[in-house]
A = this chain, B = another copy of it.
Amino acid sequence: MGAMPQPPAPRKTTGRPARISRTEILRTALRIVTDEGVARLTMRRLASEVGSTPMALYHHVRDKEELLLLLLDDYAAQHLHRPSTAPTEPRERVIAAATAIHEVLADCPWVVEVLTADDLMSKSALWFVEQIVDGLTACGLTLESAVHGYRAIWYYTAGEIVIRTTAAHRRAADDRPTYRERVFTDLDPDELPRLAEVSDRWAPLTAQDIYVHGLTALVNGLLARPD
């Protein structure tokens, strides 16, 4: 869960009226991050886009890290909608909830910076976490094992996002051949026979989306071995 810091502190009626609001700051920040990537989001840039000074921002957010967390919270709240009908079969409910979280995160590459800056996600994600934990218990796991299972799913999901996102980012910005290309052209088939055998299929193979495949395997494995 990302740190959702205190709400803007209920507006007092005394004092100078605010010229910029936290909402406006977050809206602008989200636009910058969506259009140009998280690297381009600086406090100075953001300040000028909302027509203010860098220091005015610090009156609405504690620091840049809090800004990023608020941004993820906001994003999740807007995009993570509970389905009108969830599967009744609990195993399927687990898969569906994890896939929902994954889809939302996969659509905003900038989350990586935030994921690695905090441990979990927004309040909006709690319902999905509940679905996963509850689904696993409904399949026979103890509550403790279900929580562990949820964490394994979260590791897998976050890892997929982090790795795939940065790999894509790299590919885009890359003129020079990747390390993989260089290494895979001169594999020793005696030492690494399997890798040598797939070396020329590696790129298309690893370009395939295997999230659901791996997720299903993981969930099956978690349920087959309830300790």
**Which residues of A are at the interface with B, using a C-beta cutoff of 8 A?**
1-4, 69, 112, 115-120, 123, 126-127, 129-130, 133-134, 137, 143-144, 146-149, 151-152, 154-160, 162-163, 166-167, 170, 176, 178-180, 182-183, 187, 191-195, 197-198, 201-202, 205-206, 208, 210, 213-214, 216-222, 224-225, 227
Q: How far is the CA of A166 from the CA of B117 in the complex (A)?
A: 6
User: With A147-B205, A162-B115, A194-B133 given, is the CB distance from A156 to B218 under 8 Å?
Assistant: yes
Q: How far is the CA of A116 from the CA of B167 in the complex (A)?
A: 8
* CB < 8 Å neighbour of A178 from B3, B123, B137: B3
* CB < 8 Å neighbour of A163 from B158, B163, B183, B217: B158
A interface, over-half SS: helix
- The distance from the CB of A73 to the nearest CB of chain B, in whole angstroms, is 9
Asked whether B218 lies within 8 Å of A152 as measured between CB atoms, the reply is yes
Q: How far is the CA of A197 from the CA of B180 in the complex (A)?
A: 47
Chain B residues, CB < 8 A from A210: 148, 151-152
